[in-house]
Amino acid sequence: MALAPELLEVHEEQARDRYALPPLPDAEKGVVMRFAPNPSGPLHLGHARAAALNDAYVRRYGGRYILRIEDTDAKRVDPQAYDTVPEDIAWLECAITETVYQSDRLALYYDHARRLIERGGAYLCTCDNDRFRELRQAKRACPCRSADIETNLAGFEAMLEGAYAEGEASLRVRTDLEAPDPALRDFPAFRILTSTLHPRVDATVYPLMNFSVAVDDHLLGCTHVIRGKDHIANTRRQQFIYDWFGWTPPHFKHYGRMGIEGVVLSTSEMRAGIASGHYEGWDDIRLGTLRALARRGIAPEAVRRAMLAIGVGETDIQFSWENLFAENRAIVDPVADRLWFVPDPVAVEVSGALPREARPLRHPGMPARGTRTLAFDGSVVVPTAELGNDLSMLRLKDLFNVDVSAVEDRFRFAYAGDDLAEARAAHAPIIQWLPLGETLPCTLRRPEGDLTGVCEPAVRGAVGGVVQFERIGFARIDRAGPEGVVAYLTHR
């Protein structure tokens, strides 16, 4: 035990290098953080960054991790997302301690609106939108701004009771008309929405994001907020609300924008692509949703590690699949059984060899995991792409060497000994193969297109798991039915 601390420290140091995040201020006694998605569809890699970063800090400092469903805009609520979002967050293995729905809290927001009005921090505005915009641009107050508290209180109640139609009135926060950023000047806190019904509540007046977020972050006791920098203007707006109420705001951190090569991260674009049939669904492997990653066989841990490696930098970044794949490969390589898949197979007769069994290892690094048995009895299938006119010898992996000859366009193999060294000396490719009679039809689906072929029967036992198709890449076995196997390429 006397020697251990040093070693531990070294290990910790090394581990910290790539995944460690900068320390948070005032966090030593624990933190309360939240992940607050809009329930508009399944979660994607962009959400995963926010979810994983907050999760990592809560794990590090201890405390509470709130999943807050921000469903105050009925137009942007997809009822299915009430299920998919928690499912996705559970898949990501984030340590959520409680879940709240903003649509459950409307009374709370109304109550705080009244209190804000009483403090002179908000007023009911019935100005035309364009008109208000002009005034705001000119740093001038709109006529509604000068109404007294009683009038505003009454106006807000009237708004709640349905005296105004959608768009006719809003409650605005009194900020600073001289604010250099026009976005900060008297922004709206509540609006009326009657054209779209909310799937969970019967209401016509809804808080806007800046109001509900500030109230909730305070009421729920959030100590630190980590979100994308698209919220930086919102943070400034929310500061006005904290000031009006005399609340201490949480610590904010805004990370940079993240793009992902070759993928749309916009929920609405994905939805449109699915509707048009371009994508098969939310788990189409060309998508950046967590469901798509799961279907491909990416481990949640890999996603979290990749996000931690990126960190909380404010620089805009282009996320690369290579980095995610590398994280995943490290996780999956030690556990994935090695199995054979022969793409675009061609049957070849082998002359001069007696029937025998090949017993390839399930994992070359762990012989204890055992072998599978493939019974050679005269003919094999091999990948067509391996055969060529200039090829004279190859080795059927874990079986024996063969001489290759071609008559017309038909290839023939002739037994050429068992000696592995000979094959190496001849630079013979060592390839996967299958007995002609022991194959299962198999489709390997890839973002760039499907690969069809056959795989060994043992693949049936790996449904739902990730295997490595030797010399092809890692793949998740999606299903195995009478019609054959469907697998998804995870990555090479």
What are the φ/ψ torsions at residue 374 (nearest 5 degrees)?
A: -125, 120
Q: Which CB atom, from 30 or from 388, has the smaller least distance to RNA? A: 388
Residue 264 C-beta: closest distance to RNA, Å: 13
Q: Which CB atom, from 55 or from 73, has the smaller least distance to RNA? A: 73
Give the distance, in angstroms, between the CA of residue 425 and the centroid of all CA atoms in the same chain. Answer: 47
H or E element in which residue 107 lies: helix 106-118
Q: Which CB atom, from 44 or from 397, has the smaller least distance to RNA? A: 397
Residues 218-249, buried b or exposed e (16+ Cβ, 10 A)? bebebbbbbbeeebeebbbbbbbbbebbeeeb
Q: How far is CA 423 from CA 274, 358, 393, 426, 435, in A?
A: 50, 17, 8, 5, 20
The CB-side HSE value for 316 (13 A sphere, CA atoms) comes to 4
Residue 44 C-beta: closest distance to RNA, Å: 13
Residue 404 C-beta: closest distance to RNA, Å: 15
Residue 464 C-beta: closest distance to RNA, Å: 20
Residue 481 C-beta: closest distance to RNA, Å: 27
Residue 424 C-beta: closest distance to RNA, Å: 8
Q: Which CB atom, from 213 or from 380, has the smaller least distance to RNA? A: 213
Question: In one letter, which amino acid is 420?
Answer: L
Residue 277 C-beta: closest distance to RNA, Å: 26
Residues 36-65, buried b or exposed e (16+ Cβ, 10 A)? bbbbbbbbbbbbbbbbbbbbbbbeebebbb
**Max alpha carbon distance in the chain (Å)?**
102
Residue 273 C-beta: closest distance to RNA, Å: 19
Q: Which CB atom, from 23 or from 352, has the smaller least distance to RNA? A: 23
Name 210's Cβ contacts closer than 8 Å, sequence gap at least 6: 173, 187, 189, 234, 237, 238, 241
Report how far residue 465's alpha carbon sits from residue 478's, in angstroms, rounded to the nearest whole number.
8
Report how far residue 163's alpha carbon sits from residue 329's, in angstroms, rounded to the nearest whole number.
60
Report how far residue 365's alpha carbon sits from residue 223's, in angstroms, rounded to the nearest whole number.
47
Q: How far is CA 301 from CA 166, 298, 386, 425, 466, in A?
A: 45, 8, 36, 42, 14
Structure tokens at 351: 């002359």
Q: Which CB atom, from 318 or from 389, has the smaller least distance to RNA? A: 318
Residue 136 C-beta: closest distance to RNA, Å: 7
Q: Which CB atom, from 114 or from 229, has the smaller least distance to RNA? A: 229
The CB-side HSE value for 242 (13 A sphere, CA atoms) comes to 18
Q: Which CB atom, from 106 or from 285, has the smaller least distance to RNA? A: 106
Q: How far is CA 355 from CA 189, 195, 208, 263, 350, in A?
A: 79, 75, 75, 50, 10
How many helices (H) and strands (E) the chain has is answered by 13, 27
Residue 141 C-beta: closest distance to RNA, Å: 15
Q: Which of 456, 442, 452, 447 is nearest to 489 (CA)?
A: 447
Tokens 């035309």 identify what position? 128
Report how far residue 41's alpha carbon sits from residue 270's, in angstroms, rounded to the nearest whole number.
9
Residue 483 C-beta: closest distance to RNA, Å: 27
Q: Which CB atom, from 78 or from 280, has the smaller least distance to RNA? A: 78
Q: Which CB atom, from 366 or from 479, has the smaller least distance to RNA? A: 366
Q: Which CB atom, from 44 or from 338, has the smaller least distance to RNA? A: 338
Residue 354 C-beta: closest distance to RNA, Å: 15
Residue 209 C-beta: closest distance to RNA, Å: 3
Q: Which CB atom, from 41 or from 63, has the smaller least distance to RNA? A: 41
Q: Which CB atom, from 114 or from 231, has the smaller least distance to RNA? A: 231
